[in-house]
Amino acid sequence: MAVLSVLRAAAALVVRRSPHKLQHLAGNNLLRAFPIASKVAVRLGSNGKQMFAIKSSQYYDRRFLHLLRFYILLTGIPMAALITFVNIFIGEAELAEIPEDYVPEHWEYFKHPITRWISKYVYDPPEKSYEKMMALISIETEKVDLRQKHLEVRRLMRERGDGAWYQYETLDKNLIDNSQKTNPDY
């Protein structure tokens, strides 16, 4: 502040010493309308007491906003430029009837060129995901069928006893000693 006031005093002195030099320097026509510095009533308002305004620090807030703006615009500006150029120079597709004997590709059902590009190079065709889902469902259906059959087979084999399962090994009946059964217990 002190430096500023010194500078200001020096500037005032220079202008006061050569009031008309400015006008001669810059050509008479342009600066004739400028008032002479020493004759104008200037109100600098420097008779108030100098105050130190106690505020909280704005360093962190300003830094945050600066960084936010920077990182958003880092990809925002190229994206905005790209989208503008695509909209202006490439333009959207036109609606047309499907020609005879022509099967359009899966990306030819979209209007905007960027959606078409994404559908062509990034996404799978919707037919593919449909078929994948159908394959999963068919596998699960087969599993359900087989499990049901398994349970039914178990039930029948146990009930009828003439199947391959539920066969248990027992002793040979020739090994049983029947001699004690010939005598009664009394």
Partner 1 sequence: QKNKFYYYHQHFRRVPDITDCQFGDYLCYYEAEMQWRRDYKVDQEIIGILQERLRACQQREGNSYVQNCAKELEQFKLGAKGYQSRYGDLGAYGSARRCLMKQKHRMIEERVKAVSEA
Q: Please, what is the minimum distance in Å from the beta carbon of residue 150 to partner 1?
A: 17
Give the residue carrying structure tokens 């704005």.
58
Per CB under 8 A, contacts with partner 1 among 97-116 are 97-98, 104, 108-111, 116
Our CB check for partner 1 shows the closer of 9 and 134 to be 134
Residue 86 in the binding site for partner 1 (CB under 8 A): no
CA distance 22 to 36: 9
- With CA atoms as reference, report the closest residue to 127 among 148, 104, 94: 104
Residue 166 in the binding site for partner 1 (CB under 8 A): no
CA distance 19 to 12: 10
Tokens found for residue 41: 């009533």
Tokens found for residue 86: 């695509």
Per CB under 8 A, contacts with partner 1 among 9-68 are none
Residue 85 in the binding site for partner 1 (CB under 8 A): no
Binding-site ranges for partner 1 (CB under 8 A): 91, 93-98, 104, 108-111, 116, 130, 133-134, 137-138, 140-141
